[in-house]
Structure 1
Amino acid sequence: MKAAWLKDPALVSERVGGLKVLERQLFLLRRAGFERAWVSAPRPDEDLRLPEGLDVSWGAGPDGEPRLEVSGRHLVRLAALKEAAAGGPARWRDEAGETVLAVVGSGAAAERPLPPGASVPLSAPLRGGPVDSWLMREAVKGTDGFMAKHFDRRISLAVTRLLLDTPVTPNQMTVASTAVGLAGAALLAAGAYGPGLAGALLVWLHSTLDGCDGELARLRFQESPLGGVLDFWGDNLVHAALFLCLGAGVARAQGVLWPAGLGLLAAASASASAALAYLHSKKKAAARKAAGPFFTGVAEVAPDAAAAERRVASLEDTLAQRDFVYLLVALAAAGRLPWFLWASAVGSPLFLAALLWLRRRSLFV
Structure 2
Amino acid sequence: MLSKIAVVLNDNLAMFEFGVVCEVFGLDRTADGLPAFDYKVCGAQPGKPLRTSSPGISVTPDFGLEELADADLVAIPAFPFNKGLVLDTQIVDAVRDASQRGATVLTVCSGAFLAGEAGLLDGRKCTTHWRYVEQLAQRFPLATVDPDVLFVDEGNLITSAGTAAGIDACLHLVRRELGSSVANAVARRMVVPPQRDGGQRQFIERPVVDCSSDSLSETLHWMGENLELPHTVESLSARSNTSTRTFARKFAAETGTTPVKWLTGQRILLAKQLLEDTDMDLENLANRCGFGSGALLRHHFQRQVGIAPAEYRRRFGGVRTA
Same fold, judged at TM 0.5 (above): no
> Normalised by the shorter chain, which TM-score bucket?
0.3 to 0.5
Q: In terms of Rg, which structure is larger?
A: 1
TM-score (normalizing by structure 1):
0.30
Question: 1 or 2, which has the higher helix percentage?
Answer: 1
TM-score (normalizing by structure 2):
0.33
